[in-house]
Amino acid sequence: MNSIAQNLRAARRDDSTITRWVGFRVDEQNYALDIHQVQEVLAAAEIEPVPGAPSAVLGVINLRGRIVTVVDLRRCLGFAAAGDTGPCSVIIVDVGGESLGMRVDGIAEICSVAEAAIKPAPAIHGREPDPLVHGIVSRPGLMMTLLDAERLAQIAAA
């Protein structure tokens, strides 16, 4: 048996080396969340504002009878808030057993990423990387930052 066939069989047996991510855009930047943290993706959602909510909280949506809080990922990631332009894309994630909506500028695709392709986030000015960033994937014509949904939820709640 040749080594290429052996390597392919080994790769098929070792599914742990490939992870899947839900890609999205915020302010023309590419990001992704681990598919295991994502419950569903809403191409368009009407968000009802909640008076007195923290600045990152846009409001709530009714998701098949469940009320789900929606946060603005633009604010969580340090970008200026987007103007109210009507329906928007929302990624619903599971954080600690609860659903949380994350408003994004656009949905990209589901990506398969080899663990070996994930590079650690660089230290900036001698400071440790933020635990918000799981890692960075670079492909020809695309750089994507992999985020941690639980850490995003902590930032939104602050």
pLDDT value of residue 35: 95
Strand partners, 48: 60
Domain range summary for the chain, segments of one domain joined by +: 17-157
Check if the beta carbon of residue 41 is closer than 8 Å to that of residue 89: yes
**Angle made by CA atoms 122, 134, 53, in degrees to the nearest 5:** 110
Given a contact cutoff of 8 angstroms between Cβ atoms, the answer to whether 55 and 158 are in contact is no
pLDDT tens track for 122-150: 877 767 767 789 999 998 888 999 999 99
- Residue 158 is given by DSSP the state -
| Rounded Cα–Cα distance for residues 152 and 117 (Å) | 23
Residues 25-77: tens digit of each pLDDT = 998 899 999 999 999 999 888 899 999 988 889 999 999 999 999 999 998 88
Structure tokens at 28: 């023309």
Average pLDDT (4-14) is 47
Contact of 133 with 151, CB cutoff 8 Å: no
Structure pTM?
0.81
CATH superfamily of 17-157: CheA-289, Domain 4 (2.40.50.180)
Cite the DSSP H helix spans in the chain.
3-13, 73-76, 149-157
How, if at all, do strands 29-34 and 18-26 pair?
antiparallel
